[in-house]
Structure 1
């Protein structure tokens, strides 16, 4: 990689210099797109606009945008980092009390939102007074942007906060996962061979999977194809018409796809990789996908926001004979299975899954007690998930 840095935004800068007119990201619902130059320049303009409005390094800026504004979402994500600020991706389905709780905990200085929020019943202006730190509510993208589109980056250190990801709060109040610039990327910056092939996905942008999908496609020389609204029939038609080579699915979507009347007739031959994650997939559904896409690698995967840029995937050659397994960790990630006393157990014995990445672990933002309860002193994340390793080391 050139010597201008290892920030995620450095990858965007490189792509804009190298493939300025190639399409980086497409919204398939309304057939809009950004080239690398457009993405780079618009994020520079917005970053300058944020700084001009008074956003300082380390300030927290929430992104509260609907899926159909995905191009504004990814531009805002890059711009906030370029301004040296911290992104707070926010679930658009949260209630007003939940938003107030999260944004007060993060002490957000600004919210980037839209005047049209089909997934939300909350008007940010109505709750602004309940969030003392909140100064700016940006609803007009053009008005928030500066006229200067040249390269822009406020200096940040590897250990500086990049994002705060809030959990669903299913077992209590949501916790904010602190993500730093040196552990935000799943794939390191690189100089990819540009293919222009498509990678299709539809995960909400505020999720772990959605955030990973901002920069990962470009790092693999691919165009991101985003479908904000999902139907199985629409997905099948997209694959036929757009001819993507990669796709990402959650099991719920996979179940609908194999049940669609057109599943057995659709031309899915362009796909060579289909990753499945977020929950276990039924073995029968997995087998049906493999049978319909015999030349594709249709594999399980596993990741957690708390684990950092760590992922467990199934090697392609093992997919068919290890249905039900999510695979092996991608180095340098480590995993182990332990008993209630924290001792590592033998193969085939069920225990708690521990995960660890080198370097500084993630932690819960402003919650040292929860951090101590979830990470060991030597950096192992105690996931709370039950699992086992087989005799060959597959999870």
Structure 2
């Protein structure tokens, strides 16, 4: 187990001083400059009274300054707390009460929300540049204790109130190994940063590992298909990670299919279930989307399919990565046989030590022998490939039979007129609970409920077929594109 980690950005500044670390709208920042500005950011925070262990909140869209402050917190020993700019001030206030930051950085788009939080604030578009320019680079701790907290990521709250997941330096290094070995990450790689930085994927897939490796991170801001397509057309990207909604948006862009897509060495996907139909569309373009699975609590990389399996084992999330241990167990905690469905557990250096200030939630998340309960139901085939069946909390019983909503959603998503589906249980006087489907259609014709019932019945047992279908214009979503099912009404 690692005890101390050298100041990663100082070391990279020595090894790759003149190489470009970050790029944003034509602005280039070398590794030496990133190290210096991170030191200046640490001095700026210290001048404002921030000390070791204090929390520093940041509320902004993707930008270079985020990474300067992230590494500045590491140098100082402070804990960064990225805030979800999609939340209203009332929800943000709950997170502020939970982590009690000493200082807030805010982008211009989010200054109104920042003002409502009543914290000492530095405007990233008003004050930050002048203040950093005046601050000394300073001399900060040269070693980062592996178990020290680096930042907190609040869970997206698909099932309820967000919790602050602790990220320490050990997790950062484990994720670097897990994702880096999976995609063959090198110091010559360039990747795009557009997933929101209050989400683990925005930081860790693949931006932070790329910076540790000495590659280039191109900051896009917020996702828009046009600038990403331009990067692809310019052969600027070597690795790519996105959630399914981003892959669909790119597919819909008129120039995407004609771009030189073969320049990207690795295409990764996670954060939400990857529809089979989307995989097939990309297969027609010669692109192997490698489906993966992880959690905020796993750092996040846990599973990622190999490119060789991407087309032949559609639906699989592959095998556990290098520093991740995975088990599938029954309700008694015994390992299940291949092909059987059970609860998915994780352990390893990439797993969080727990939740900020919430010992009860931390105890509930782990088994007595230290395995993280993912809440997911999974199965493993005879070749060791894993498949996510659904969430334990989403499974319901209809007439004595287990129904896994993910299985029904996969069938519905195969219908040509359906873009996406969400299945939840609804009370039923005869069967206890039955499936109720919420449907987002494509731009074409809308199938009738009778047509959808017949489509499902031809592919599913009767007890799995939804008894009702509702059509929506969009779904409430998390930052990763997951549907917030608890926000869907199931009232009769």
- TM bracket, shorter-chain basis: 0.7 to 0.9
Cα shift at 1:56 = 1.1
The alpha-carbon distance between structure 1 residues 32 and 303, as it changes in their structure 2 partners (threshold 3 A), is: same
Deviations, residues 13-61 of structure 1 (Å, cap 9, x unaligned): 122112212111112xx22231112111111011012112221110011
The residue aligned with 1:131 is: none
Distance in structure 2 (CA, Å) of the matches to 1:342 and 1:125: 49
Distance in structure 1 (CA, Å) of the matches to 2:248 and 2:290: 15
Residue 176 (structure 2) aligned to one of 159, 163, 187: 187
Query: Is 1:138 paired with 2:127?
Result: no
Distance in structure 2 (CA, Å) of the matches to 1:13 and 1:156: 12
SS state at 2:44 partner:
helix
Distance in structure 2 (CA, Å) of the matches to 1:388 and 1:360: 21
Bigger RCO of structures 1 and 2 (CA < 8 A, at least 6 apart): 1
- Unaligned runs of 5+ residues in structure 1 are 129-133
Distance in structure 2 (CA, Å) of the matches to 1:4 and 1:366: 23
Cα shift at 1:71 = 0.5
Q: Which has more radius of gyration?
A: 2
Residue 243 (structure 2) aligned to one of 229, 245, 250: 250
Distance in structure 1 (CA, Å) of the matches to 2:166 and 2:3: 25
Residue 61 (structure 2) aligned to one of 33, 48, 66: 66
Residue 267 (structure 1) aligned to one of 219, 235, 260: 260
5 Å-filtered alignment, 1:372-391, equals 372-391=363-382
Residue 112 (structure 1) aligned to one of 105, 115, 134: 105
Q: In 2, are the aligned partners of 1:198 and 1:242 still within 8 Å (CA)?
A: no
Query: Is 1:199 paired with 2:187?
Result: no
5 Å-filtered alignment, 1:47-62, equals 47-62=42-57
Distance in structure 2 (CA, Å) of the matches to 1:359 and 1:246: 21
Residue 150 (structure 2) aligned to one of 162, 165, 172: 162
- Unaligned runs of 5+ residues in structure 2 are 387-492
The residue aligned with 1:347 is: 338
Residue 40 (structure 1) aligned to one of 27, 35, 39: 35
Q: TM-score, normalised by structure 2?
A: 0.71
Query: Is 1:125 paired with 2:115?
Result: yes
Cα shift at 1:375 = 0.9
The residue aligned with 2:320 is: 329
Deviations, residues 294-337 of structure 1 (Å, cap 9, x unaligned): 5xx53111111112354211122222211111111112311111
SS state at 2:326 partner:
strand
Residue 77 (structure 1) aligned to one of 65, 70, 83: 70
Distance in structure 2 (CA, Å) of the matches to 1:154 and 1:56: 16
The alpha-carbon distance between structure 1 residues 57 and 154, as it changes in their structure 2 partners (threshold 3 A), is: farther
Cα shift at 1:121 = 7.3
> Which deviates the most, 210-219 or 52-61?
210-219
Count of aligned pairs between the two proteins: 375
> Which deviates the most, 95-104 or 233-242?
233-242
SS state at 2:56 partner:
strand
Distance in structure 1 (CA, Å) of the matches to 2:315 and 2:89: 39
5 Å-filtered alignment, 1:226-305, equals 226-293=219-286, 297-305=288-296
Q: In 1, are the aligned partners of 2:298 and 2:350 still within 8 Å (CA)?
A: no
